[in-house]
Amino acid sequence: MKTQIEQLRDEHRAAERLARSGLTPSRAGLFTGPPGVGKTLAARWLASELRLPLLVLDLSSVMSSYLGRTGGNIRKVLDYAKSSPSVLLLDELDTVAKRRDDAAEVGELKRLVTVLLQEIDDWPATSLLLAATNHGDLLDPAVWRRFDVVVNFPLPGPVELEEALRHYCGDEPLEGIGFLVRVLTGSSFADAERLVMSGRRRAALTGERLFEVLLQLGHDRLRHLDQAERLHIALDLVHDGELSQRRASELTGVSRDTIRRHQRERQPD
């Protein structure tokens, strides 16, 4: 993912070098993945690196109640973006570019796909067109083929979540961060940021240390898990040396006796 995004930047920075070889930079990139995983942030980073203005069009917001107007609205925005070098992000692409074989969609909406395809085909190499979708499976197959680069943004793993938490918390001491990482397993970067911001607000109101508040918020998030899942988290935290049995018990709601017994069972004979 990082390599693909950096290549988009490098191609546009070296457009003249590519031209000497009869090539042009990639004109269009498609970002796919669940909400909150960095698609919009990546577009902002590219615009900053290329020193170009970032234009963002939320396609869900231009869907007129009179569908016939939407095609014209999209053309006007894209014509404006093409008038000078820029990075244009089409957000919520699946709102417009749905499969044209979907019987549930009206004919006018299907014609919008054709309008969008024509605009992508005419996109100048001096600008970068990006599109983002949370639902790649809804896109018309012809839309996929129009993009030079497709970048999939997966949910962050443990390493990425820990890096994000450390970034959002700044200089705050983060003992026991492994607990929060496990609590956030399967979550997005946006989820991690919301957790930290909620903790910051509570800490500002109560005067508590931020990380103590975050640990309590993590404890609250575990309530929906069953006993077996909470026990698994507790055992991992104790085994990895992240937390003592007592602290793991407090945060997961699993008794120390249960943790101790299952820990002995884990140990090899």
**Domains of the chain, residue spans:** 2-152, 158-266
**Residue 192 · residue 160 · CB < 8 Å:** no
pLDDT at position 37: 93
pLDDT at position 104: 45
Of 29-43, 78-92, 101-115, 129-143, which gets the smallest average pLDDT? 101-115
Q: What is the mean pLDDT of residues 71-82?
A: 78
Q: What is the mean pLDDT of residues 60-75?
A: 64
pLDDT band at 66 (very low <50, low <70, confident <90, very high): very low
Query: Going by DSSP bridges, is the β-strand pair 28-32/87-91 parallel, antiparallel, or unpaired?
Result: unpaired
Q: Hey, what are 71's tokens?
A: 């095609």
pLDDT at position 69: 65
Give CA–CA dist 246/238, Å, rounded.
Answer: 9
The CATH code for residues 2-152 is 3.40.50.300
Q: Is 39 left (phi over 0), alpha (psi -120 to 50) or beta?
A: alpha
Q: Hey, what are 186's tokens?
A: 């399967």
Cα dihedral value 209, 214, 219, 224, nearest 10: 150
- Positive or negative torsion for Cα 191, 40, 9, 29: positive
pLDDT at position 222: 82
Amino acid at 219: H
| Cβ-Cβ contacts under 8 Å for 156 (sequence gap 6 or more) | 37, 164, 187, 188, 189, 192
**Residue 174 · residue 164 · CB < 8 Å:** no
- Residue-wise pLDDT for 11-40, tens only, equals 999 999 999 999 999 999 999 999 999 999
Q: Is the pLDDT of residue 113 over 90?
A: no
Cα–chain-centroid distance for residue 78?
24
Q: Which pTM was predicted?
A: 0.78
Chain position carrying tokens 């309530």: 223
